[in-house]
Amino acid sequence: MPELPEVETIKNALSLAVSGAVISKAEVLCDRFREQIPSDFADKINGATILQFRRIGKYMIVDLNNRLSLIWHLGMSGRVKICQNESYVLQKHDHVVLTTDKGIIVFNDARRFGMLTYCPTDDLSQNRYIRKIGADPFAPEVSGKYLFEHLRRKTEAVKVALLDQSVICGIGNIYASEALYDARILPTREACSLSPAECQKLVESIRNVLQKAIKAGGSTLKDYRRPDGGMGYFQNEHCVYNQTGKPCPHCTCDLNKTGGIRKIVLGGRSTFYCDTLQK
DNA sequence: AGTGAGGCCTGAAAGC
DNA sequence: TGCTTTCAGGCCTCAC
């Protein structure tokens, strides 16, 4: 499930492979996503040159030379494949195929929770999806103070607040649990109960966890693959996510007494934590 | 405004 | 064995 590190990995791979490429053919095989792909999508981008790839939160932005930008979200099961082979054989759930002079770009999304649309580049910041995206976790303005100010009026669980893309963008269900573990903060804590010092630590943990994941090429769970088909390796470093009942890696307490890593549901999402280490 | 619930969608895994 | 049910989750919309 692509979160910030996975989108960053995909963006970087696409940048290397197809920046400057000319789109000679755009095919929309299925347009029913979270939002329908506009019916004139293919016409709008046919013949355009790809200027650059950017990332805003979990959205990938593709700037074209015709003053349009693609807004691309991978949802939960979205994959992007880059193929050099001219005779690409379509696979199940290949929904959009962009043929360029530098390779074929394929958008594959089994669950179709993703989306792909376009808007004028100049209007991007006002786009209904983009405008509500909060600061990037690596942006200079994100600090303990920034997080504290954004959480101080929230009574929801801090884990739920981390998933709110308008506070800090890019954090998904895996890294929310991992960052809170790294910061030794219980996911159930009311967001407004965090002290400025805890917010500072949490910001550092978010950056730490995301940075490590980017370095590892993202997590590979059921759905995520890098564009070259390879696997990310960060799942080998998950301390708590999907580790129910296993010993906490930084805890020396007796597994028989603590039961190990716990799993609960917050905001309808699985949440993992160590009851002993996290306060 | 903030919060919580429901829904979209498919495939893997668990349950019967 | 084979069918049915449950679960996974990003993010939208709607109701309170």
Which tens digits make up the pLDDT trace of A171-187?
Answer: 999 999 999 999 999 99
Q: Which of residues 8-27 of A touch strand C (CB under 7 A)?
A: none
Contact between the CB of A3 and strand C at under 7 Å = yes
Query: How is residue A142 written in tokens?
Result: 């994100």
- Based on the residue annotation, tell me whether A269 is a catalytic residue of this protein: yes
- C chain positions with any atom within 7 Å of a protein CB: 7-12
Report the footprint of strand B: residues with C-beta closer than 7 angstroms.
A 32, 34, 92-93, 110-113, 153-157, 160-161, 191, 222, 267-268
Q: Element (H or E) spanning A10, and its range? A: helix A4-18
Contact between the CB of A165 and strand C at under 7 Å = yes
pLDDT at position A230 is: 57
pLDDT at position A234 is: 53
Q: What gap in Å lies between CA A204 and CA A156, rounded to an integer?
A: 21
Which tens digits make up the pLDDT trace of A56-94?
Answer: 999 999 999 999 999 999 998 899 988 887 778 999 999
Contact between the CB of A49 and strand C at under 7 Å = no
pTM (two decimals): 0.93
pLDDT at position A235 is: 58
Distance A188 CA to B3 C1' (A): 15
Q: Which of A3, A8, A178, A198 is catalytic?
A: A3
Average pLDDT per 10 consecutive residues for chain A, totaling 279 residues: 87 92 96 93 97 96 97 92 84 94 93 94 94 95 96 95 95 94 96 97 96 76 51 67 89 81 92 93
pLDDT at position A223 is: 44
Distance A44 CA to C6 C1' (A): 42
Q: Going along chain A, which residue ranges are E strands?
A: 23-28, 50-56, 59-64, 68-73, 78-83, 94-100, 103-109, 115-120, 262-266, 269-273
Q: Which residue has the tokens 């920034």?
A: A146
Q: What gap in Å lies between CA A50 and CA A205, rounded to an integer?
A: 35
Nearest-CA neighbor of A41 among A70, A15, A74, A11? A70
pLDDT at position A256 is: 77
Q: Which of A58, A79, A159, A189 is catalytic?
A: A58
- B chain positions with any atom within 7 Å of a protein CB: 1-12
Sheet (strand A94-100) strand order: A23-28, A94-100, A103-109, A78-83
Distance A223 CA to C9 C1' (A): 11
- Based on the residue annotation, tell me whether A58 is a catalytic residue of this protein: yes
Say how many C-beta atoms besides its own lie within 10 A of residue A262's C-beta: 19
Phi/psi of residue A65, each to 5°? -85, 5
pLDDT at position A62 is: 97
Distance A207 CA to C6 C1' (A): 34
Answer positive or negative: Cα dihedral of A84, A85, A86, A91. Answer: negative
Position A157: which residue type? A
Distance A18 CA to B16 C1' (A): 51
Query: How is residue A5 written in tokens?
Result: 């590190």
Q: Which residue has the tokens 């039961």?
A: A259
pLDDT at position A83 is: 87
Q: Which residue has the tokens 């000319």?
A: A22
Query: How is residue A94 written in tokens?
Result: 């290949």
The Cα-based distances of A60 to A9, A72, A118, A212, A248 in angstroms read: 11, 5, 11, 20, 34
Distance A66 CA to C12 C1' (A): 29
Find which nucleotide's C1' atom is closest to A110's CA.
B10
pLDDT at position A221 is: 40
**Parallel/antiparallel/unpaired status of strands A115-120 and A68-73:** antiparallel
pLDDT at position A232 is: 55
